[in-house]
Amino acid sequence: MSVQNILAFEKAGQIIEKYGYNRAKLIPILQEIQNEYRYLPEELMVYVATMLGTTSSHVYGVASFYSHFTLKLKGKYVVRVCDGTACHVKKSTRLLEAVRAHLRLAEDQNTTPDFLFTVETVACLGTCGRAPAMSINGEVYGLLTDETAVAVIRDIQDKEQASHE
Ligand code: FES
């Protein structure tokens, strides 16, 4: 087991302890674990099940039922390009392709290999009057063109690069 795994289990243990090992609190427990690690790794779900005295299939069932739980590691920045009707009419498909091409995502890929970006689509961001729109970690950008959408991504990449220099 890697040092990282031991630390992950330790944090999860603290969260479970905080909820008094209460099986009825499974959803908030999973939510806090996901907030900590950005997703729910399989080994942690097994660990949660053991600590709560339930089966891993029960924990997995709950985690996969609710769409806000994610079982696969996503990028640090989750880009959601809106594909609702208003955005679709304003060529959101092209915008999505521009973002994906800029990030060099292969057809079957949603996350960059460095786990910096995940690109998804969403039904509506609630800002139809500013279509086409996308959000990045919940912050919404509207009235986008392919160029301005890519510029937002490039800005983040520059900041990330600068923080590592
Ligand atoms: S359809 Fe895109 S914001 Fe509503």
What are the distances in angstroms from CA 104 to CA 61, 88, 113, 123, 130? 33, 22, 10, 24, 27
Same-domain status, 110 and 156: yes
How many domains does one find in the chain? 2
132 alpha carbon – ligand 1 mean position (Å)? 7
Domain that holds residue 29: 3-65
Residue type, 8: A
Same-domain status, 55 and 19: yes
Ligand 1 atom with the smallest distance to the CA of 132 is 2
pLDDT band with cut points at 50, 70 and 90 for residue 7: low
Last residue within a domain, chosen from 14, 30, 65: 65
Same-domain status, 84 and 44: no
Same-domain status, 9 and 43: yes
* Domain CATH number, residue 27: 1.10.10
* Domain CATH number, residue 97: 3.40.30.10
Give CA–CA dist 1/162, Å, rounded.
33
Q: What is the pLDDT of residue 41?
A: 87
89 alpha carbon – ligand 1 mean position (Å)? 10
3-state secondary structure 17-38: HHCCCCHHHHHHHHHHHHHHHC
Atom 1 in ligand 1: which residue has the minimum CA distance?
84
Protein residues whose CB sits closer than 6 Å to any atom of ligand 1: 82, 84-87, 124-128, 131, 133
Q: What is the pLDDT of residue 3?
A: 43
Q: Is the pLDDT of residue 23 over 60?
A: yes
Q: What is the pLDDT of residue 5?
A: 57
Q: What is the pLDDT of residue 164?
A: 78
Q: Is the pLDDT of residue 160 over 50?
A: yes
Residues in the chain: 165
Task: Kindly report, residue by residue over 75-121, the tens digit of the pLDDT.
Answer: 999 999 999 999 999 999 999 999 999 999 999 999 999 999 999 99
The chain-wide mean pLDDT, for the chain, equals: 92
Sheet of 134-136: strand order equals 117-122, 77-82, 134-136, 139-141
Same-domain status, 87 and 156: yes
Same-domain status, 88 and 144: yes
End-to-end Cα separation, the chain, in angstroms? 31
